[in-house]
Each structure stands twice: as C-alpha cells, then as structure tokens.
Amino acid sequence: MILGISASGRNSKRNESGTLTHGLTEDIIRYILNKSGESSEFISLAGKNIKGCVGCCGCAENNICVLDDDWAAIRDKMFAADAIVFGAPNYYGVINALGHAFLERTFSLRHRERFKLAGKLSVIVTTGSEEDPSVEDFIRKIFRSNYMAEPVGALKVAGISQCYQCGYGESCAAGSVVNRHGFIDEIRESILPRVNPEAYKKAEIIAHRLGEVVRSKHPQDPIK
C-alpha cells in the first residue's frame, strides 16, 4: 500500500471546464498514486488538527507522541505503508506551516536508537516554485533524520496562485493577476494558469518507478 499525504491546506478542485483551480499538491499526489499500479490511500492534512512538536520529550521512553490531535492516526498509516508520497506547498520560500508541523512530529519516532520509519520508501512532491529547492530540501532532511530510504523520486511543480480564485484578483494591485494581466473586468478561463503538462509526465515516470520498487519488495512473480 502506498500512502499519499498532502500537507496543503486546500483540497483539489476543478471548475466546470475541468481546469484545476485549487489543490495542486493533492492533484499531483493522487496522480502518482493512480499511476503506481499499487493499492493506495490518500490523506489530506487540510482541515486536520496537527500541532507542531513542543519538544516535551514525552515520547522519549516509548516513541509515542503525547500530543492529542489528528497526527497519531496518520502516523499509524505511515507505519503500515510500503511507501509514502509526501507533498507540500512553498509558502514564502519555506514549507507551509501544516507540513512543517506534521514533519516535526516525526521527532517522536527516533528515540533510543529505534527508528520506526527506517528504510521507508518515499516520493517528495513540492508545489509553488520549480526553482526553489528549499521545501524539498527540508522534507529530505526530515526523511534522512528518520533513516528513511533515499527518495525514489522528487518532483517540483510550479504553483497555481491563490489570486486567481480569491474573488478580488482582477482589481487587486497587490496580487499576481493584475501583475501579469493588468486591471481586467473578470478572470476568464483563457487566463487561468495551467499546470505544465511536463509535470504530469515526470509524475508518471516517478509513479511507475515507485510501483516497481514497491513490487520488488513483495515479488509475486520473481525474475529468475
């Protein structure tokens, strides 16, 4: 089973024309899950209560975080999964707060020389900027600190600006719509940002590779 986790605060949404308007992170993760050829489960952190680590060390004795929120149920799904596809958006050049909080809590899984995510397969998806490596680097750092396997793949996808669906984009000089198109009457379908098709091509390749690596761990029909 491959577990997809989107740390975006937005679920994926398309308009009547089928254009993705929200939730690029979820959309790409779901695409990878679907193309992997493996059974999968998707979890969105949107709307979930995930506190950041408070450094209390209440987890030191038994590697179980003592904070009471939605994290523990997702932790158990991570344990059960063969691989994790984790995705998060870039907010101001860093991982969004929800993603940061979620990953901080893996601090609880590595005490007293027990590493409960050791060797876990993964893929990293980051949205918001194709150039900025900082979100991917942070996720890699957390995965390494848990001795997870080197990610099977990593994908950076240019984001969809919130300004196209905030409701005021056509007349707001602070936002990216007016910056790109000037003041306009309405945001027509033709100017909506489109996800680069290359992103889905790369996602498909990574998905295929991930599926094969997972199947290599559980060979049904071993190559002689």
Ligand X SMILES: Cc1cc2nc3c(=O)[nH]c(=O)nc-3n(C[C@H](O)[C@H](O)[C@H](O)COP(=O)(O)O)c2cc1C
Choosing from 30, 65, 82, 89, the residue that interacts with ligand X (CB under 6 A) is: 89
* Rounded Cα gap, residues 64 and 52, in angstroms: 15
Choosing from 4, 99, 128, 193, the residue that interacts with ligand X (CB under 6 A) is: 128
* Rounded Cα gap, residues 106 and 156, in angstroms: 23
The residue range among 87-95, 97-105, 189-197, 211-219 that interacts with ligand X, by the rule CB under 6 A, is 87-95
Which residues fall within 8 angstroms of residue 197, CB to CB, at 6 or more apart? none
* Rounded Cα gap, residues 8 and 20, in angstroms: 15
Site for ligand X in 23-52 (CB under 6 A): 23-26
Three-class secondary structure of residue 72 per DSSP: helix
Kindly state the number of chain residues that form the binding site for ligand X, as judged by CB under 6 A.
19
129 binds ligand X (CB under 6 A): yes
The residue range among 50-58, 90-98, 100-108, 208-216 that interacts with ligand X, by the rule CB under 6 A, is 90-98
Smallest distance from ligand X to CB 161, Å: 6
179 binds ligand X (CB under 6 A): no
Helices within the chain (DSSP H only): 24-35, 71-80, 97-104, 134-145, 176-181, 197-217
The residue range among 18-26, 76-84, 163-171, 200-208 that interacts with ligand X, by the rule CB under 6 A, is 18-26
Task: Name the residue nearer to ligand X (CB basis): 8 or 40.
Answer: 8
CA geometry: angle 88, 91, 94, nearest 5 deg: 80
Applying CB under 6 A, the residues found at the interface with ligand X are 8, 10, 22-26, 89-93, 127-129, 159-162
